[in-house]
Amino acid sequence: MHTMWKGSISFGLVNIPVKMYAATEEKDIRFRYLHKECQTPVQNVRMCPHCQKEVAWSEIVKGFEYSEGKFVVMEKEEWDRLLPDPNKAIEILDFVELEEIDPIYFQKTYYLGAQDANNKAYALLREALSQTKKIGVAKVTIRSKESLAVIRVYQSCLVMETIFYPDEVRDVKMVPGVPEDVELQEKELSMALQLIENLTTSFDPGKYQDERRIAMEKIIEQKIENQEVKSPPAKKPEKVIDLMKALQASLEATTPSTKKKSKRTTTKRKKVSS
């Protein structure tokens, strides 16, 4: 498993060196855009529509569009001043009940493994969180971005989940069409409760699967087996130019005596023709 980040968990005076790994992976099948005519992958080019030319990364700056077509540009010095503390520590600020945080706040999950497999502090924090059924609310800096996170136990491993800040979660009052003060019939409610009871079971993640992705994988495998595959044409070999011949031709074309000689020859030809 690839190590994404190295740092430590700190709470109080306790410091636990850890390595971070991605806990999840997207299984979606990704397709590339090809030129229909020759099946060659299409390149994405950074073009400036005003200058009508390709733009190099060195010529690109970041701008915030505060109004349509109007931007505020951030200079490198200004970005540098806003960089968070580079200290690579997951600093636990508080411990709370897991039930107090609604799942809408959770963003991405990472496994945390101890840098030393026999780390006693790691095992101690894991056991303490398990017995108290608490999770730690923390702050962490990853790739120059400070994030809010929680530390909890999943099976035998400590995990870190980045969570949204409160102002990043939209107010439900912004959602249109939410029914309010709707009178419900007792019989209808009773039947709905009974239906939920009939469908209630223990959560088994293994029984759920991405049917569309599985069907698409089968189609792709079948096409490969039937050799229904396309390949872009081979690149045309570049014309090899003999360096000595190129230099000789260039010298002859630029030598003054050659130019004069060619002019005289042209003049003689004109006299003869006249």
Break the chain into its structural domains and give their ranges.
5-24+84-168, 47-81
For residues 111-119, give the mean pLDDT.
Answer: 88
At residue 227, the pLDDT reads 80
> Of 225, 7, 243, 234, which is closest to residue 110 (Cα–Cα)?
7
**Which band of pLDDT confidence, cut at 50, 70 and 90, is reported for residue 239?**
low
15 neighbors 88 (Cβ within 8 angstroms): no
Region of poorest pLDDT, from 1-5, 82-86, 112-116: 82-86
Q: Is the pLDDT of residue 234 over 90?
A: no
Span of 41-55, 103-117, 241-255 with lowest mean pLDDT: 241-255
**What is the mean predicted confidence (pLDDT) over 90-113?**
93
27-54 pLDDT tens trace: 878 888 888 888 888 888 888 888 888 8
Q: Which of 50, 54, 74, 71 is nearest to 62 (CA)?
A: 74
Q: Looking at residue 233, what is its pLDDT?
A: 74
pLDDT at 243: 65
CATH topology of domain 5-24+84-168: Ku70; Chain: A; Domain 2 (2.40.290)
Residue 274: predicted pLDDT: 44
Whole-angstrom distance, CA of residue 61 vs CA of residue 52:
18
Residue 220's pLDDT band, with cuts at 50, 70 and 90, is: confident
Distances (CA, A) of 88 to 5, 10, 15, 98, 199: 9, 10, 11, 25, 46
Which of 26-40, 59-73, 87-101, 114-128 bottoms out in mean pLDDT, i.e. has the lowest?
26-40
For position 104, what pLDDT does the model report? 93
**pLDDT at residue 273 in the model:** 45
Task: Supply angle C-alpha 79, 84, 90, rounded to 5.
Answer: 155
SS3 195: helix
- Per-residue pLDDT tens over the stretch 157-183: 999 999 999 999 999 998 898 888 899
Chain centroid to CA 238: 36
| Inter-residue contact 110 to 160 (CB < 8 Å) | yes
What does the pLDDT read at residue 272? Answer: 44
